[in-house]
Amino acid sequence: MSYFDAASAAPLHPVARQALTASLDEGWADPARLYREGRRARMLLDAAREAAAEAVGCRADEVVFTSSGTRAVHVGVAGALAGRRRVGRHLIVSAVEHSSVLHSAEVFEAEGGSVGRVPVNRAGAVDPSSFAAALRPDTALACLQSANHEVGTVQPVAEVAGVCRAAGVPLLVDAAQTLGWEPVGGDWSLLTASAHKWGGPSGVGLLVVRKGVRFAAQGPVDERESGRAPGFENIPGIVAAVASLRAVRAEAAQEAVRLRELTERIRARVPELVPDVEVVGDAEHRLPGIVTFSCLYVDGEALLHELDRAGFSVSSGSSCTSSTLTPSHVLKAMGVLSEGNVRVSLPPGTAEADVERFLEVLPGAVAGVREKLGAPAAPATGTGPGELLVDSLGKRCPIPVIELAKVIGQVPVDGIVRVLSDDEAARLDIPAWCEMRGQQYIGEEPTEAGTAYLVRRVS
């Protein structure tokens, strides 16, 4: 088995396992108690906090341990917004943040706050000047991930932090995808991370609140974690999280070079090996271990199933692999193809041979799925009427695009195909198909039973 989904959760690092089992005997008692067992637990917790602070590049008393990265984000966003309530009720997020940030923004909106969503370019990156333009006098907080979890694009955090600092607005950086590689640079105000992303145990998140940042923890709190994360501390988990962070950091520089070469190989070779593929995400400013591509005329769920059968665990941002039937908000914000989407995220230590085997297996897996779906082998040609209607109502991704591709050759050049679809993914994938195929996407029109997407044949 080759597990290529480290961006979801990394397998437990051996150092994490060792630290966890070693601290089960000393770390179970209440660190707030003054007796021997409590003092021992407190010592473990204090040492972990010091080590975490060193890895982040902050003070120990700025570190709050939470029960997950998601919880760190929820607590951090709510606390920072409440701390600056008098300044205003405006929040800025990038359009490609992790769902935990976007869910926090939705709750804030429901409570009467306003949210600005900074768009990204086709590579998934924000532009610092767009962030600057989004800042308002009543902006209480801005959020930007250090790198994107779905496509690996690294964000210009230091520049955006500078822009925010100049405006007096705190920046919260979701560093879930990068803290295992390196500290976050720049003058940020809050930072969040999640241990299981770097090989630590699940059940441990990190929230850093810089001194001087106004912060008012929301909901009930107690005396634990500076009154910012209530509930009994999971000390063995915390110890294991921090020990593994130090361990992966020690290997990070070397491993980053190695993984980057492996993902570069996938980036370059997949489009050679598989027809009709779009590799997405920034080619230069990217995480070492993540590469994402989308395959035309492919059902993402079926492809994941084929790859799983072949021994590869990957994930997908295609709509057919989510419970909501909408494509990944990241791919949507980038405006790139979402059908047949595959994210490969290599854990540290991935063997070169496994990547090579993936490249061997992938073309057959894609071809098999395409064959089952009746994907067009070559563009159909012929002469038909100047306008054609394709009724794809009730059909899910990638069928509307397949049906479009099958008929485009039947209208003359400058002829128009109208695709009727009620699948949310079509809104993203039909324009993306046009971009890939050199056809012209005209736009959409509402109809009684769905949406009509208009495409003009150019070539």
Among residues 65 and 433, whose Cβ is nearest to its own copies?
65
Shortest distance, CB of residue 231 to its own copies, whole angstroms? 3
d(CA 343, CA 280): 10
Q: 130, 156 in Cβ contact below 8 A?
A: no
Token pair 């090579």 is at which residue? 356
Which of the residues 143, 320, 397, 434 is marked catalytic? Answer: 320
Tokens describing residue 359: 């490249």
Nearer to its own copies, 260 or 305 (CB): 305
Minimum distance of its own copies from residue 19's CB (angstroms): 12
- Locate 300 and state its tokens: 């993402």
Say which residue the tokens 């809050």 belong to: 190
Distances (CA, A) of 137 to 26, 112, 164, 282: 50, 17, 12, 32
Q: What is the C-alpha to C-alpha distance for residues 82 and 442, in angstroms, rounded to an integer?
A: 44
Is the distance from CB of 151 to CB of 281 less than 8 angstroms?
Answer: yes
Cα R_g (the chain), whole angstroms: 24
**For its own copies, the closer CB: 86 or 381:** 86
CB 314 within 8 A of CB 291: no
Residue placing its CB nearer to its own copies in the complex, 128 or 340: 340
Q: Which residues bind its own copies (CB under 8 A)?
A: 1, 3, 5, 8-12, 17, 20-21, 24-25, 27-30, 33-38, 67-71, 74, 78, 99-100, 103-104, 106-107, 194, 196, 201-205, 218-223, 230-237, 301, 304-305, 307-308, 312-315, 321, 323
Across the beta sheet with 190-194, what order do the strands follow? 63-66, 205-209, 190-194, 171-174, 139-145, 90-94, 114-118
Closest separation in Å from C-beta 303 to its own copies: 11
Residue closer to its own copies by CB (options 61, 106) is 106
- As a whole number of angstroms, the distance between CA 362 and CA 254 comes to 28
What is the smallest separation between the CB atom of 28 and its own copies, expressed in angstroms? 5
Q: Which residues pair with 420 in a beta bridge?
A: 391, 452
CB of 229 to its own copies, least distance (A): 9
When the beta carbons of 302 and 426 are compared against its own copies, the nearer one is 302
Residue found under tokens 């906090």: 49
Residue 266 CB, nearest approach to its own copies (Å): 18
Q: How far apart are CA 58 and CA 91, in angstroms?
A: 24
Query: Is 397 among the catalytic positions?
Result: no
Q: Which residues are catalytic?
A: 320
